[in-house]
Structure 1
Amino acid sequence: IGTTGDYGRFTNLQIFDPLVQNYPDGQPNTEGRAVAESYEVSEDGLTYTFEIKEGIQFHNGEELTAEDVAFTFHAIMGKAEEKHGVTGVPESVMKMHTTEISSVEATDDYTLEIQMDEVYAELLEGEFVQDFSVIPKDYIVENGYENYQDELIGSGPFKFKEYSPGDQIVLEKFEDYRLDVNAEKLILHFYDDQSSAVTDLRAGNIHAVHPIDTTHYQDLKGEENIKSKAYHHPGAVNIKFNHKMEGPLQDVKVRKAFAYAVDSQEVIDFKRKELAINSRYLYEPGHPAYPENANQYEQNITKAKELLDEAGYPDGVELTIHTNPGDRTDEMTLVSEQVAEAGIDLEVQSVEWGTFVEMMQAGETEMNYHHLTAGPSGFDKMTYYMNTSEKNFWGNFYNDSQFNDMMEDAMKTIDYEDRMEKYKEIQKYLIEDNMAVYVVGFTQQPIVYHESVTIPEEAFTSYMYDGPYYKTHLWEL
């Protein structure tokens, strides 16, 4: 598989198994690769009890037990040294999801109990579940975390073989995996650009390219020897406004004017076509948290001009947006032409991803445009806008106390349907404040692969947002 993207995440998906999985609507289940056999949540939402599947093996031959799951929780919570004497464990970005947990203990070999200080109804839904990778307690306690990082022992369908910096990562089949694994070896080749990877795909030198941008996908679709498909991917590509930078965007009327000046359907038709839908909401039609009848901000140049005039900018405004090279820069160039009709002079600056993230974290981008990936839960996509969240820079430092209070209330609502109703109301509140412009709604994620590869339909209906790459053990040659 050729990649120009986040190979660390891809590798982790193959090496480690999750505690539970998510259905497309965000609710957890214990099917497939999940290490939990079952779970129960107390009526008051303060106690979680998991039964762990028996006979699961780590790659070093040791059995995975509830002790390993408890240790994984402790590592995420920053308590590996306190609880187990293990030093050097880096702080996890998932720690924010564990602040309401008071204790995690293995009550026997296959039973895990979590006690909560407060109700946190989203504990088993969304990104935390999908990024939870069970690691081996005994090996790490005996050998240290630094040595473990060189071995990367998990319980997933593939085990770590070797890493050649700048070249490739080699994984090999875990012969004792509890599910079928068809491939003997999985090699992830690194490329500087997708064009080079696509050339090798056409030549049959590699079997797939991940990720693939929409331009290459459209070019390859229908090509001889190449298979292509799009799978559901809960995310959206949006324009976010910096909410702590002084300037015109502090005025909601300017933010709304920008939204009314954008023609999302034209942007979608320009590049992504069938890979996206036109929706300005955080959730797609059919999702339990989808807010019916909220404002879609359909393009209205007259309305945009009126709002700018009311905000004190009768002659228009000058704004700058940062994005990444390729399709996103092309899309924002089109948007700059659209908003110019309303008197908005939009300068588009294209920077590489690493620099882009650093600039966002530092609050240096007035506006930015990129894809936000999240789990299917009604919670994930809105945490970016909570100023109490470590991910708030992804929401461009949005800071609204009423929104935070509404989120805190929803997160403590145990009943799933009631919680989804609250998320609908929260979205309507955010839409009215226009904290961001969701230009390309709910992208389908494209995949291209060589005709010699067979990927079963089951792999495309994965509960996890990585789709077929979470189920590479099902791929066949």
Structure 2
Amino acid sequence: MSVRFAYPLRPLVAILAVTMTFVALACGGEEEAAAPAATSAPVATSAPAPATTAPLPQATEAPAAADTSDAAAEPAATAAPAAAATEAPVAAVVADYRDDWINFLKQHKGYKAEWGEPTYGGIIKTADPRPASRFQSTLGYSAFSRWQFAAHNSLLFMDPWGTIRDAPVCDLCESYEISADGLKYTFKLRENVQFHSEGWAKDQGAPGFGTELACEDIKASIEWFANPPPETRASYIKFGNTIMGHLDEATCPDGMSGKTVVLNFSKYRNATIYWLAAGFAVWDKEYREWMDAEYPGVQSTANPEGYMINMGTGPQIPLSADSQTVMKVRKNPNYFIPGAPFADGFDTFAIQDYNTKFAALVTGKIHQAGHGSSGITKAQVKQVQDSYADIIELQIVRYNHISGVRMNNLIPPFDKWEVRWAVQIALDRMDWDDFMTVGDVKMSNPAYYLHIDSGWGKPASEFMKTKGWNPETKDADIAEANALLDGVFGAGVRPKTDQYVIQLLSRREISVWAIDFFKKYLNWEFDVKYVDTYGNIATDCLYTIRAEANPNPNKQVYASDPSDAFWGVHSEWTTSEKCLHTGWKGDGEASADELAKVNGWVEDLDTNLDQAKRLELARKIEAYLVEERSTAAILGVMNVAWPNRWELKGNRYYNLGTYSQQRLHDRLWLNEG
């Protein structure tokens, strides 16, 4: 038995597998399960359908950034009942987007009435906080990351007006079906989808312009992604191998020009469907071959050709590229969704100075000022609240970045677990929370290790009672931390080690707070060194301690599923530096046996069909990373301010997802009347 999904919002036949098991809520005080051994992918006989891995609650409004309730962090305790093939009830008034794009959006659960009627025309102007260093995207739609993905579509996508826990929906597919063993994904492609008819490479004789999307294009694109050529950036090659290395091949049962694609996998992995929905670029097969032959590895550079060479089925076509100033895309007149996109194009400016960027937003030179971890500052959030609320809409998003302190287990003094643990239990998370609060806006939310919107980690009601997090025992925790440090270094002795501070504000704030905290409560001062970027200081593990805010040391970027997080702590899968994944409850580097133990847990989590078991495993791994590996002392989830002027409509983001995953290119419009 298989599971079939279709996205046209008309009456459709839904064929559901027998028993789709969702994760049940964990009860407090449960005993920790024994460490399971790594297992191979289960053979599908009566296995529950893996198509929508838990937790997937009903689609709801994305919670406000200040919400740290268990509801924002716990999987729903439900089980989907078995169902025979039936006609899915769809309200008659719901528009099919291929017939009526505007009414489809207006009836969407995420549509805001105050946006009014969508309008056409205009150039939407956004700001990026740094010049481009390369144009190769891993996954993600790059909604306002220089718009390089606006030239493309993907097989599936996560609805940007929904939540990170919603089920993926079709982009270039009409429907998809997953076999009961999770080894075969069959996609029916949309009809009448054309690749761009114009573009930078057309004058150079590049093939593929104006051709119709076919199976061979999906096959070529996903097989390229799973195993990129050697000219590609090394970390991207390993990333593709890690998350899609289980792809055996893509086949075309109706022929290469047909509309059926089958992805055949060597094993079932829980996060596969979400990785497919995170956005991998679909290229014309012949064009991709021409591109790799004529411009090998060009997208691993910041050369203009790396941007201009993007050619796909997407709503925008690259117009010009200067990585130091402005990148431009313009409307695809042959986009396969009639009535989309609304905007005539997008211009993205590289504005590194926060004050200059904010001034551009206030004066209407740009429409949107958010990007990644560098939106607007806390002080500017306050300015918007006090003075500019009538012209600027604050968009506070719980980003996928986790703020904290990274400690290098390969270099003294943090090669000793006792020193790392002392820092872990001493840090005052509530003081950090206060430091990151401006007016009634919280720019951080407490977290234990996993992102709180994942739903798989220890809930706030539990972790806020643990050592290091419980505000009621903070004085005792600090006293214990000092005793541990005295035991290692001698009474009152603290080594003056390096602490690197970079200029990026989102990291500098952590450094400023941490330097003050260490001095005040641990009598520990550092030799502070200011650098423009961590660079090889981080990648070559040259630091002793540093502030950081990113998805590391786990890798949760694209999905709520814990497999998207914990592949990054697997010593053989990760693309992270060695000092992030070799810590243990001992001195120096963990043994091969210790690493194999953790790797086994991660592999079991990755493939196990028992979602309740996966919840146990996720929390077991999380506890290990906090209490034993202890190379990252987590302060909280980074909340970012991605504001826009009120005349920019259709702009909304879900929590946890990266900036690149918000697929908004064909939904944004300007109403400047």
Aligned match of 2:242 = 96
Distance 1:347 1:89, change over 3 A: closer
Q: Deviation per CA, 1:75-128: give whole Å up to 9, x if none.
A: 123367xxxxxx9666634232122222222223222222222333222235x6
Is the CA contact (8 Å cut-off) linking 1:14 and 1:157 kept in structure 2?
A: yes
Secondary structure, in 3 states, of the residue corresponding to 1:387?
A: coil
Secondary structure, in 3 states, of the residue corresponding to 1:209?
A: coil
Are residue 297 (structure 1) and residue 506 (structure 2) matched?
A: no
Distance 1:5 1:473, change over 3 A: farther
Equivalent of residue 582 in structure 2, options 398, 412, 417: 398
Aligned match of 1:343 = 523
Amino acid at match of 2:329: L
Equivalent of residue 39 in structure 1, options 168, 172, 176: 176
Secondary structure, in 3 states, of the residue corresponding to 1:383?
A: helix
Q: How does 1:322-361 map to 2 (within 5 A)?
A: 322-325=500-503, 326-340=505-519, 341-353=521-533, 356-361=534-539
Distance 1:296 1:76, change over 3 A: farther
Amino acid at match of 2:484: L
Distance 1:162 1:49, change over 3 A: same
Equivalent of residue 271 in structure 1, options 430, 433, 436: 436
Aligned match of 1:288 = 455
Pairs aligned (count): 462
Aligned match of 1:470 = 663
Counterpart CA distance in 2 for 1:288 and 1:455 is 27
Secondary structure, in 3 states, of the residue corresponding to 2:468?
A: coil
Aligned match of 1:364 = 542
Amino acid at match of 2:157: Q
Is the CA contact (8 Å cut-off) linking 1:158 and 1:171 kept in structure 2?
A: yes
Q: Deviation per CA, 1:324-349: give whole Å up to 9, x if none.
A: 21342233222122223223334443
Secondary structure, in 3 states, of the residue corresponding to 2:499?
A: strand
Are residue 2 (structure 1) and residue 127 (structure 2) matched?
A: yes
Aligned match of 1:83 = none
Q: Which of the two has higher C-alpha Rg?
A: 2
Distance 1:425 1:390, change over 3 A: closer
Amino acid at match of 1:388: E
Aligned match of 1:218 = 381
1:3 offset after TM fit, Å?
A: 1.5
Equivalent of residue 194 in structure 1, options 354, 376, 390: 354
Secondary structure, in 3 states, of the residue corresponding to 2:577?
A: helix
1:143 offset after TM fit, Å?
A: 5.8
Is the CA contact (8 Å cut-off) linking 2:399 and 2:655 kept in structure 1?
A: no
Is the CA contact (8 Å cut-off) linking 1:30 and 1:37 kept in structure 2?
A: no
Counterpart CA distance in 2 for 1:164 and 1:136 is 25
1:410 offset after TM fit, Å?
A: 0.9
Counterpart CA distance in 2 for 1:168 and 1:77 is 31
Is the CA contact (8 Å cut-off) linking 1:163 and 1:169 kept in structure 2?
A: yes
1:461 offset after TM fit, Å?
A: 3.8
1:270 offset after TM fit, Å?
A: 1.8
Q: Deviation per CA, 1:395-415: give whole Å up to 9, x if none.
A: 624353321111011111134
Query: Any stretches of 5+ residues in structure 1 without a counterpart?
Result: 81-86
Secondary structure, in 3 states, of the residue corresponding to 2:535?
A: helix
Q: Deviation per CA, 1:219-278: give whole Å up to 9, x if none.
A: 4422333222213423311222223x2312122221110112211222232235512212
Is the CA contact (8 Å cut-off) linking 1:321 and 1:346 kept in structure 2?
A: yes
Equivalent of residue 255 in structure 1, options 408, 420, 441: 420
Query: Any stretches of 5+ residues in structure 2 without a counterpart?
Result: 1-125, 136-141, 198-209, 296-304, 552-556, 584-594
Is the CA contact (8 Å cut-off) linking 1:67 and 1:106 kept in structure 2?
A: yes
Paired-residue identity, %: 16
Amino acid at match of 2:240: M
Q: Which runs of 4+ in 1 moved over 6 A?
A: none
1:315 offset after TM fit, Å?
A: 3.1
Equivalent of residue 251 in structure 2, options 101, 105, 108: 105
Counterpart CA distance in 2 for 1:416 and 1:112 is 28
Q: Deviation per CA, 1:128-182: give whole Å up to 9, x if none.
A: 6424111211223356554585431022221111112422111011223244312
1:63 offset after TM fit, Å?
A: 1.9
Are residue 414 (structure 1) and residue 605 (structure 2) matched?
A: no
1:24 offset after TM fit, Å?
A: 4.1
Aligned match of 1:84 = none
Aligned match of 1:164 = 322
Are residue 30 (structure 1) and residue 169 (structure 2) matched?
A: yes
Amino acid at match of 1:262: L
1:72 offset after TM fit, Å?
A: 1.0
Counterpart CA distance in 2 for 1:174 and 1:313 is 68
Aligned match of 2:227 = 78
Distance 1:227 1:27, change over 3 A: closer
More helix, by proportion: 1
1:283 offset after TM fit, Å?
A: 2.7
Distance 1:153 1:416, change over 3 A: farther
Distance 1:279 1:178, change over 3 A: same
Aligned match of 1:239 = 405
Equivalent of residue 628 in structure 2, options 420, 433, 439: 433
Secondary structure, in 3 states, of the residue corresponding to 2:445?
A: coil
Distance 1:443 1:68, change over 3 A: same
Is the CA contact (8 Å cut-off) linking 2:369 and 2:644 kept in structure 1?
A: yes
Aligned match of 1:21 = 157
Distance 1:142 1:362, change over 3 A: closer
Secondary structure, in 3 states, of the residue corresponding to 1:424?
A: helix
Amino acid at match of 2:541: G
More deviation in 422-431 or 231-240?
231-240
Is the CA contact (8 Å cut-off) linking 1:322 and 1:368 kept in structure 2?
A: yes
Aligned match of 2:343 = 183
Distance 1:90 1:254, change over 3 A: closer
Counterpart CA distance in 2 for 1:145 and 1:264 is 52
Counterpart CA distance in 2 for 1:141 and 1:332 is 46
Amino acid at match of 1:338: F
TM-score of the aligned structures, taking structure 1 as reference length: 0.87
TM-score of the aligned structures, taking structure 2 as reference length: 0.63
Is the CA contact (8 Å cut-off) linking 1:384 and 1:395 kept in structure 2?
A: no
Counterpart CA distance in 2 for 1:311 and 1:203 is 56
Distance 1:202 1:100, change over 3 A: same
Distance 1:45 1:321, change over 3 A: farther
Distance 1:278 1:146, change over 3 A: same
Amino acid at match of 2:218: V
Secondary structure, in 3 states, of the residue corresponding to 1:363?
A: coil
Secondary structure, in 3 states, of the residue corresponding to 2:193?
A: coil
